[in-house]
């Protein structure tokens, strides 16, 4: 089932959580809403679920308007950040809840409920814990019970609110892969809220980057990572170095380095400034190259402050002559080949530089 | 290396940092024990000793006496009306305060505590002022032959006023810590309002609710001040157990007074027992703090 959100806004008191947001989710897709806390991603998810009412705007399920449909009638599966398991019920009863509360004529027979719950518990690999209470489970197990409970009502849409937020790093990674496999198996439309960019990029088919109640960019993980639409997206998806230069015509100049800057001409024509204009260039740590000798690609000279080489990549912290801190990531082979050491003077060359 | 060894070897186990030396501890325990013995156990024993002073026969005769039986009936009837009403009010108020935002919420929270702040005698007087013969509604009530003051309705009203914070006070913090997440989860799974209440909310608060009801019942049966003002002390008609004890005592009928008093004391002991039982159950139901480690089978 596809989901469409059209021009939705929501205010809590004086805080505007969503401003005129529109979004389309295709049938069978897994979309991640990614953003810092307060960006409105959870509010958007809760509006889709029917747990919040938008101040204005519409929500469509499969082309039909669902804005005023009650939460009970939306038939969505919702997984809460803190699981929200029924603490006085066993794992089995938790999963069976959605089937037991159905009106009599829609309720499956007892034996059928038993069978379906059993099957779901096998799917989340927890059939051996059916008689336990939530307080007797680990965080990861609780999360999987919550997922099985949400799936029991056979929802067309699965909504997950920071599903792995409260778990430790290793469990989070395992569950993430497991969720991706599960999504491929059961084929529902999924929307996942997360503030963890790694999680969003790894799990989702498409990523929606949100900031201050608005959508900054929608795209596949590759698109948002390699072609960020705004400075915010670039910043949010990982560390980035900022270099200050100036624009002259259609060129941007950083030290001795010149790069194409087609927007520069527009700026000069539109703006009152006739001469050069300050520009900022953004480079990811892995797009910076370290050289011992200067070359025509050299952006600037810097001194090595610290080397952190325990990991798949060597992380090198530099300080420029202007006192700016620069982060570089390079392969272990390259690092060994260059024989770098703290205090050494080196030259930094970008492979790719982004200017907005 | 030697440094590591020194750190690992446990220092000699001395007293816990916050434990006082033995004489101080024994002094404190002794003072507390003596206090309890003097002001709690001694009077408790005295009630039963006095009640049984003239033998078991006199004791039971005092309880079988018609006025005494009427007083016991009236107390039980009052509690039977007041406790269910406060149960409903308590759940409604706690639900509203813990789970919704509405204007006047903090005022309501404060007002619920009012009966704790007001002397019960004043509470009784309020009802006399409202419904008494010379009160605001007195003439109208008289004209329609409705009796509130010096009758059962007045006693029920006064008892209701004095006991209504007990259930709500017990539930509000409990429901506030539990939040609304489980109710939301139930709604998403398709449960209607009443299904959510009976299947999710009520089971989560049942022990707190029972605790509130026990306290409410004990207070309803033991209330004296407010009831004394509105009852009129008509023997066999509007005398509750507490008022009957007072009357008998004033008539120097000590054995009978203490016999009725011993019933109230027994009720107190039962309440205490039930309360500890509920507390023990709640502790046992509390979520285990040490949760198992995460491991994914696949």
Q: In angstroms, rounded to a whole number, what is the distance separating the alpha carbons of residues A328 and A308?
A: 10
Query: With an 8 Å Cβ cutoff, is B101 touching chain A?
Result: no
CB contact under 8 A, B181 and A78: no
Q: Do A140 and B184 touch (CB under 8 A)?
A: no
Q: Which residue of A has its CA nearest to B206?
A: A88
pLDDT above 90 covers a percentage of chain B that reads 27
Q: What is the pLDDT of residue A47?
A: 94
Residues A190-212: tens digit of each pLDDT:
999 999 888 899 899 999 999 99
d(CA A116, CA A149): 11
What part of A 72-91 touches B (C-beta under 8 Å)? 72-78, 80, 82, 84-88
A–B CB contacts, 8 A cutoff, strictly below: 94
Q: Using CA atoms, how far apart are residues A298 and A255, in angstroms rounded to an integer?
A: 8
- The backbone torsions φ and ψ at residue A54, rounded to the nearest 5 degrees and listed phi first, read -70, 150
Gyration radius of chain B over CA positions: 26
Per residue in A119-151, pLDDT (tens digit) is: 999 888 888 999 999 999 988 899 889 999 999
The answer to whether A154 faces chain B, any CB pair under 8 Å, is no
The 10s digit of each residue's pLDDT in B6-26 is 444 445 555 567 777 888 889
- Asked whether the beta carbons of residue A101 and residue B189 sit closer than 8 angstroms, the reply is yes
Tokens of A243: 């270099």
pLDDT class of A322 with cuts at 50, 70, 90:
confident
Question: A356 and chain B: CB distance < 8 Å anywhere?
Answer: no
Query: Which pLDDT score is estimated for A238?
Result: 85
Report yes or no: B177 at the A interface, CB cutoff 8 Å: no
Q: Do B184 and A84 touch (CB under 8 A)?
A: yes
Q: What is the pLDDT of residues B128-172, one digit of tens each?
A: 888 888 888 888 888 888 888 888 889 999 999 999 899 999 999
Residue by residue, DSSP assigns chain B as -HHHHHHHSPPP----TTPPPHHHHHHHHHHHHHHHIIIIIHHHHHHHHHHTTTHHHHHHHHHHSHHHHHHHHHHHHHHHHHHHHHHHHHHHHHHHHHH---TTHHHHHHHHTHHHHS-HHHHHHHHHHHHSTTSSSHHHHHHTT---TTSHHHHHHHHHHHHHHHHHHHHHHHHHHH-SHHHHHHHHTT--HHHHIIIIIHHHHHHHHHHHHHHHHHHHHH--HHHHHHH---TTTT--HHHHHHHHHHTT-HHHHHHHHHHHHHHHHHHHHHHHHHHHHHHHHSPPSSPPPP----
In sequence order, the β-bridge partners of residue A147 are: none
Are residues B204 and A139, on separate chains, in Cβ contact within 8 Å? Answer: no
User: pTM above the 0.80 mark?
Assistant: no
Choose the mutation target among A101, A117, A177 for the interface with B, i.e. most B CBs under 10 Å: A101
The pLDDT score that the predictor gives to residue A24 is: 94
Q: Contacts of residue B199 in chain A, CB cutoff 8 Å?
A: 86, 97, 101
Per-residue pLDDT, B103: 87
Place of tokens 């399920």: A61
Q: How confident is the model at residue B216 (pLDDT cuts 50, 70, 90)?
A: very high
Tell me whether residues B293 and A138 touch, CB distance under 8 A.
Answer: yes
Q: Considering chain B, what is the average pLDDT of its residues?
A: 84
pLDDT given at position A266: 57
Tokens 């059961």 belong to residue: A186
Instruction: Choose the closest CB to B294 out of A73, A76, A138.
Output: A138
Give B191's contacts in chain A (Cβ within 8 Å).
72, 97, 101
A83, A85, A88, A122, best to mutate vs chain B, most B CBs in 10 Å: A88
pLDDT in tens, B60-83: 888 888 888 999 999 999 999 999
The owner of tokens 């099957």 is A119
Res A271 pLDDT > 50: no
Indicate the helix (H) or strand (E) that contains B195. Answer: helix B193-196
- DSSP-derived 3-state class of residue A306: strand
pLDDT digits (tens, 9 = 90+) for B271-297: 888 888 888 887 776 544 444 555 444
For residue B27, name the pLDDT band (cuts at 50, 70, 90): very high
Helix (H) or strand (E) segment spanning residue A117: helix A110-123
Residues of A in contact with B192 (CB under 8 A): 72, 101
User: What does the alpha-carbon distance between residue A52 and residue A21 come to, in Å, rounded to a whole number?
Assistant: 15
B191/A contact by beta carbon, under 8 A: yes
pLDDT digits (tens, 9 = 90+) for A324-351: 899 999 888 888 888 888 888 898 888 8
Interchain CB contact of B284 with A (< 8 Å):
no
pLDDT digits (tens, 9 = 90+) for B190-204: 999 899 999 999 999
- HSE-up of A188 (CA within 13 Å, CB side)? 23
| Strand A354-355 with A277-283, pairing | antiparallel
* A7-56 residue pLDDT tens: 999 999 889 999 999 999 999 999 999 999 889 999 999 999 999 999 99
- Which of B188, B195, B291 faces A71 most closely, judged by CB atoms? B188
- Quote the pLDDT of residue B297: 42
A189-194 and A241-248 strand pairing:
unpaired
User: In chain B, which residues have their Cβ closer than 8 Å to the Cβ of A136?
Assistant: 288, 291-292
- Between B266 and A296, the higher pLDDT residue: B266
Q: Is A167 on the interface with B (CB under 8 A)?
A: yes
Q: Which residues of chain A lie closer than 8 angstroms to B297, CB-CB?
A: 125
Alpha-carbon gap: A222 to the closest alpha carbon of chain B (Å): 29
Dump pLDDT digits (tens) for A75-86: 899 999 888 999
Distance from C-alpha of B170 to C-alpha of B1, rounded to nearest angstrom:
57
The pLDDT of residue A264 is 58
Residue B187, token pair as written in the block: 């709604």
Beta carbons of B87 and B209 less than 8 angstroms apart: yes
């Amino acid at each position: 089932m596809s989901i469409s959100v059209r021009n939705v806004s929501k205010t809590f008191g004086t805080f505007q959580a969503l401003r005129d947001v529109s979004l389309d989710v295709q049938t069978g897709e897994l979309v991640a809403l990614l953003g810092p806390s307060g960006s409105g991603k959870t509010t958007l998810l809760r509006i889709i679920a029917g747990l919040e009412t938008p101040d204005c705007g519409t929500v469509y399920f499969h082309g039909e308007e669902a804005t005023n449909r009650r939460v009970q009638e939306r038939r969505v599966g919702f997984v809460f950040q803190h699981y929200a398991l029924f603490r006085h019920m066993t794992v089995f009863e938790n999963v069976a809840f959605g089937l037991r509360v159905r009106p009599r004529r829609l309720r499956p027979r007892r034996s059928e409920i038993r069978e379906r719950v059993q099957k779901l518990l096998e799917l989340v690999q927890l059939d051996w814990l059916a008689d336990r209470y939530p307080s007797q489970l680990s965080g990861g197990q609780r999360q999987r019970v919550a997922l099985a409970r949400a799936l029991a009502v056979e929802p067309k849409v699965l909504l997950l609110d920071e599903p792995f937020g409260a778990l430790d790093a290793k469990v989070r990674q395992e569950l993430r892969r497991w969720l991706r496999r599960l999504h491929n198996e059961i084929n529902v439309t999924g929307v996942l809220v997360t503030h963890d960019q790694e999680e969003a990029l790894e799990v989702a088919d498409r990523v929606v980057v949100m900031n201050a109640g608005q959508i900054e960019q929608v795209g596949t993980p590759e698109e948002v990572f390699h072609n960020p639409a705004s400075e915010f997206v670039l910043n949010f998806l990982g560390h980035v170095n900022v270099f200050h230069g100036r624009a002259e015509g259609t060129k941007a100049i950083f030290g001795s380095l010149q790069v194409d800057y087609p927007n520069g001409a527009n700026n000069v024509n539109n703006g009152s400034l006739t001469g050069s204009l300050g520009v900022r260039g953004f480079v990811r740590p892995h797009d910076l190259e370290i050289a011992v000798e200067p070359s025509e690609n050299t952006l600037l000279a810097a001194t090595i402050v610290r080397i952190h080489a325990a990991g798949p990549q060597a992380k090198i912290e530099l300080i420029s002559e202007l006192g700016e801190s620069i982060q570089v990531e390079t392969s272990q082979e390259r690092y060994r080949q260059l024989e770098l050491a703290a205090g050494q003077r080196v030259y930094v060359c970008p492979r790719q530089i982004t200017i907005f | 290396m030697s440094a590591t060894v020194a750190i690992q070897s446990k220092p000699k186990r001395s007293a816990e940092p916050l434990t006082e030396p033995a004489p101080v501890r024994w002094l404190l325990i002794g003072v507390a024990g003596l206090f309890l013995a003097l002001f709690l156990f001694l009077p408790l024993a005295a009630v039963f000793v006095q009640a049984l002073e003239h033998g078991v026969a006199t004791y039971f005769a005092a309880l079988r006496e018609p006025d005494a039986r009427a007083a016991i009936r009236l107390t039980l009837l009052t509690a039977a009306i007041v406790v269910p009403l406060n149960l409903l009010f308590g759940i409604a108020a706690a639900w509203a305060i813990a789970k919704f935002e509405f204007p006047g919420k903090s005022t309501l929270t404060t007002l619920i505590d009012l009966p704790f702040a007001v002397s019960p005698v004043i509470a009784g007087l309020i009802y006399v002022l409202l419904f008494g013969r010379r009160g605001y509604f007195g003439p109208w009530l008289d004209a329609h032959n409705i009796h509130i003051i010096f009758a059962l309705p007045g006693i029920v009203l006064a008892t209701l006023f004095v006991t209504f914070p007990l259930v709500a006070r017990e539930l509000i913090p409990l429901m506030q810590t539990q939040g609304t997440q489980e109710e939301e989860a139930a709604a998403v799974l398709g449960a209607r309002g009443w299904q959510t209440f009976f299947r999710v909310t009520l089971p989560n608060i049942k022990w707190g609710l029972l605790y509130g009801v026990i306290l409410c019942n004990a207070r309803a049966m033991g209330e004296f001040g407010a009831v004394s003002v509105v009852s009129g002390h008509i023997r066999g008609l509007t005398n509750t157990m507490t008022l009957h004890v007072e009357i008998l005592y004033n008539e120097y009928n000590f054995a009978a007074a203490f016999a009725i008093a011993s019933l109230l004391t027994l009720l107190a002991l039962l309440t205490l027992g039930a309360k500890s039982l509920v507390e023990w159950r709640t502790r046992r139901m509390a979520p285990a703090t040490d949760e198992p480690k995460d491991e994914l089978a696949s």
